[in-house]
Amino acid sequence: MQRGSEDRKRSLSRLRWALQNKETQQQFVRLDGSVRMLIGLFTSSLADMQMEAARCLHELSHSSDPAVAEACLPVTSYLLTYLSGHSVEFTELCLYTLGNLVVESEAVRKQLLPQGIIPALASCIQSPHEAVLEGLGYVLSQLLQAKEAPTEIVPLVLDSSLPQHMLRLVCSGLKSGTGAAVEFAWCLHYIICSHTANAILLSLGAMPALASLLLDLASEISQSTSEGLELLVCPVLRCLSNLLAEETVGCEVQIQDERLLVALFIILQCFFQEHPFIVQECLWLLNNLTAASCTEALVSLTCSSSTPPSG
């Protein structure tokens, strides 16, 4: 690696392919100075060198061995810094590398929190690029699934601007691309399941916003192909069901607006054969909507701006 620029790029390219092998990953991180050398190239002023080094780090991050993830601890601060990178592809690589490292190592997660990963993601979520937003959603969803998330991660997320942006991106998914919307819908689901955030999400209008989105999804499904929409429908159904199931909410969605029931039956009809798992989600929401305990404290859905789904 200690040669000219072109030679180093070729060497990095070969290394990237070699690092797709599990044993090679483990051997590489055990070599004295290997990760330090790779980080040096990752922080190079040469953009093409940076990119090749980023690809190598990304391959390392795919390892299921926590020791490999922990060998990458020295690079986490740079990955955060480069989220405002010089290209969409570079930023995307940094995000997916972070997300992969977060999955495998609690040590990585504990280091990233004081390094400011939540503020960095809150800044990055304002990107206009769908690929960046989808990568960001992946990182956040991995963080929110961690065992320590309810006590250590969710509070930081709630103190940031992330929830309002997540809700906005989920509800604009049909217009701006479903990839990021799906990721952030699952993020909202994990936050709701932490049982610490529902009051905040309700204050942001999560209930009417998600119900309105469900109406839009049903309308889209009934008018055109439904291929791929089940990926967004599933977490949206779960978010609504879990919000309704929470005893601490103290109020439920009013079902006088029959469009919500119509939407559920349209979704059931469209996905019954090809995606039976959606049926279970619909029935769970329907059960929560019509639960006897809901009759005394009901709150209206403000869905008047939505187009009623056609049956």
Burial of 255 (0-12, 13-18, 19+ CB in 10 A): middle
CA separation (Å) from 1 to 4, 15, 29, 114?
A: 8, 10, 16, 33
Flag whether 254 is in a domain.
yes
Distance CA 265, CA 143 (A): 34
In sequence order, which ranges of the chain are alpha helices (DSSP H)? Answer: 5-18, 22-30, 34-42, 47-61, 66-71, 76-81, 88-104, 106-115, 117-124, 130-144, 154-158, 162-171, 173-176, 178-193, 198-203, 206-223, 230-245, 259-271, 276-289
CA pseudo-torsion sign 281, 287, 288, 289: positive
Flag whether 226 is in a domain.
yes
What DSSP assignment string belongs to 265-288?
HHHHHHHTTT-HHHHHHHHHHHHH
Strand, coil or helix: what is 250?
A: coil
Flag whether 64 is in a domain.
no
Q: Strand 298-299 vs strand 252-253: parallel, antiparallel, or unpaired?
A: parallel
Q: Provide the token pair at 254.
A: 């009013």
Convert the pLDDT of each residue in 33-65 to its tens digit: 999 999 999 999 888 999 999 999 999 999 999
Q: Is the pLDDT of residue 306 over 60?
A: no
Distance CA 77, CA 98 (A): 10
Q: Is the pLDDT of residue 304 over 50?
A: no
Nearest in space to 166 (alpha carbons), one of 145, 152, 149, 187? 187
pTM score of the predicted model:
0.87
What number is the average pLDDT over the span 90-111? 95
Q: How many domains does the chain have?
A: 1
Q: Answer whether 89's CB lies under 8 Å from 51's CB.
A: yes
Convert the pLDDT of each residue in 241-296 to its tens digit: 998 887 544 444 444 457 888 899 889 888 887 888 888 899 888 888 876 344 44
Q: Provide the token pair at 236.
A: 């949206």
Flag whether 168 is in a domain.
no
- The amino acid that residue 283 corresponds to is L
Q: Answer whether 230's CB lies under 8 Å from 279's CB.
A: no
Flag whether 7 is in a domain.
no
Flag whether 305 is in a domain.
yes
Nearest in space to 209 (alpha carbons), one of 158, 246, 179, 173? 173
Flag whether 84 is in a domain.
no
Give 117's Cβ-side CA count (13 Å radius): 26
Q: Answer whether 192's CB lies under 8 Å from 242's CB.
A: yes
Convert the pLDDT of each residue in 174-226 to its tens digit: 777 789 999 999 999 999 998 887 888 988 999 889 999 999 999 888 776 66
The proportion of the chain whose per-residue pLDDT surpasses 90, expressed as a percent, equals 61
Residue 194: phi, psi to the nearest 5? -75, -15
pLDDT for the residue 297: 37
From 154-158, 169-173, 299-303, the region with the lowest mean pLDDT: 299-303
CA pseudo-torsion sign 177, 179, 180, 182: positive
Q: Provide the token pair at 8.
A: 């180093």
How far, in whole angstroms, is CA 147 from its chain's centroid? Answer: 16
How far, in whole angstroms, is CA 149 from its chain's centroid? Answer: 14
Domain that includes residue 306, residue range = 207-311
Flag whether 262 is in a domain.
yes
CA separation (Å) from 276 to 214, 271, 311?
A: 18, 6, 20
